[in-house]
Amino acid sequence: MSTFGLPEPGVAAREHSARLVEFLRAAIRHERGAIPFARFMEIALYAPGLGYYSAGASKFGEAGDFVTSPELGNVFAECVCEAVSPVLRGLPHPGFLELGGGSGAFAVAFLQHAERLGVLPERYAILEPSADLRQRQQQRLREQLPPAVFARCDWLDGPPEGEWSGVLFANEVLDALPTTRFATHDGEVYEEFVSLDANGGFIRVDQPADALVRAAVRHIERTIGAPLPDGYRSEVLPQLPYWVQAIGGLLKHGAMLFVDYGYPRREFYLPERSDGTLICHYRHRAHGDPFFLPGLQDITAFVDFTALAEAGTNAGFDFAGYCSQSSFLIANGLPQRIAEAEALIDDRERYRRVNEIRKLTMPGEMGERFQVMGFTRDVDLSAAFAFGELSRRL
């Protein structure tokens, strides 16, 4: 997809991208001329001080490159809090682990509502690999939460190292995991690598896939009941089962909740989706060129929710439910928030709140494109998926 028409960055931003480009070129040369696309994506997003999520530019909201559900207002976080409140209320010393805290907007709204409901977790931890985002989150939570509530907050460098109970929550995290790109040629599976052309530009090259990637693609073909067409190109996360085990394996009593954009497997790998789902975000424009200004844009891929269901249950969790974001919000307090919005006297705030709800729920906005999946251990989360359950599509 052409990147013609995308906004031009400033001088400092372009210089920052140029430094990351040189870092990427050095990594490619070090690996004898090519690195897996997943490695390219990992460096572009997470290289310390250079990657998109590691550097200091704004990512979220109107001033950034995209808007997430928590950035629209408090409705999303409050509904999530309503959904998991029975879990928090039923455990003796519950914790809450948010993966990737974004701007901190979700944590603030969630904790404020949890305090109103009387279900404050004993500890609210944010696993945030970006030092810059962690600093922004800490400042926001310190300024907007009562000191006694902020004292419950903690930041982690990695998954919990001991057993714990409570809720693990991830909003738009899976789509940012460095993804393997694969292609099929003459019945064989190839992995997409990134190399350099004669001028030092990035180019894609296909190499025979290793056993792990090949097995992951053959598993897809078995579950959809047909071989992928010749020349088909898409994404797969062969590391997903290991990742879920790593982040949730020590959760002994509680629930995991994932929100992201994606499809069940049979829809993810439709024949017409022959170039995959990779998408980049830059200044609120979406495009398909991952080599455009590395470090200044987000790179994501849609989620195979069938793969997530397999990974969660294989990690020893019970499957709790799967539905659209719209259905999830309706089942967990949205009607009350609609009534509250419509009753507001302030016209401007009423319009803002109604617009927030519309963006969260309408099919053309986030309502159907984003989906929610839950898992449990020794708790009940079924009521959270009481409306519009979609597991039959998995």
Residue with tokens 């090259």: 205
235 with 359: CB under 8 angstroms?
Answer: no
Token output for 106:
């979700």
From first CA to last CA, the distance across the chain in angstroms is 30
Residue 61: predicted pLDDT: 47
Q: What is the pTM of this model?
A: 0.94
185 with 206: CB under 8 angstroms?
Answer: yes
C-alpha span between 243 and 131 (Å, rounded): 21
Q: Which are the contacts of 12, defined by CB distance < 8 A and separation ≥ 6?
A: none
The tens digit of pLDDT for each residue in 92-110 reads: 999 999 999 999 999 999 9
C-alpha span between 129 and 195 (Å, rounded): 27
Residue with tokens 């992201």: 260
Q: Which are the contacts of 356, defined by CB distance < 8 A and separation ≥ 6?
A: 72, 73, 75
Mean pLDDT of 158-162: 94
Residue 8: predicted pLDDT: 80
Residue with tokens 């460096």: 43
Burial classification of residue 346, based on how many CB atoms lie within 10 Å of its CB (0-12 exposed, 13-18 middle, 19 or more buried): exposed
Strands ordered across the beta sheet of 285-287: 285-287, 279-282, 298-300
The tens digit of pLDDT for each residue in 124-150 reads: 999 998 888 899 999 999 999 999 999
C-alpha span between 349 and 144 (Å, rounded): 20
Architecture of domain 69-176+242-264+303-333+363-393: 3-Layer(aba) Sandwich (3.40)
C-alpha span between 182 and 321 (Å, rounded): 29
Token output for 243:
């990742």
Mean pLDDT of 57-84: 79
* DSSP H helix total and E strand total for the chain: 13, 16
124 with 150: CB under 8 angstroms?
Answer: no
What percentage of the chain exceeds 70 in pLDDT? 96
Residue with tokens 């979700």: 106
Q: Residue 307: helix, strand or coil by DSSP?
A: helix
Confidence of residue 1 (pLDDT cuts 50, 70, 90): very low
The tens digit of pLDDT for each residue in 342-362 reads: 999 999 999 999 999 999 999
Of 385, 355, 387, 390, which Cα lies nearest the Cα of 67? 355
Of 264, 259, 256, which Cα lies nearest the Cα of 306? 264
Whether the per-residue pLDDT at 60 is higher than 60: the answer is: no
Of 284, 187, 182, 179, which Cα lies nearest the Cα of 226? 187
**HSE of 283, CA atoms in CB hemisphere, 13 A:** 11
Rg (CA), the chain: 21
Token output for 388:
């519009």
**Residue ranges with strand state E in the chain:** 34-36, 95-99, 123-127, 153-156, 164-171, 180-185, 188-196, 202-208, 233-236, 251-263, 279-282, 285-287, 298-300, 303-304, 318-324, 370-377
Token output for 313:
């249950």
Residue with tokens 């920052």: 16
The tens digit of pLDDT for each residue in 248-300 reads: 999 999 999 999 999 999 999 999 999 999 999 988 788 999 999 999 999 99
Whether the per-residue pLDDT at 58 is higher than 90: the answer is: no
Question: How far is CA 244 from each of CA 247, 256, 257, 310, 312, rounded to the nearest angstrom?
Answer: 5, 10, 12, 10, 7
Token output for 135:
């600093």
Q: Where are the domains of the chain?
A: 69-176+242-264+303-333+363-393
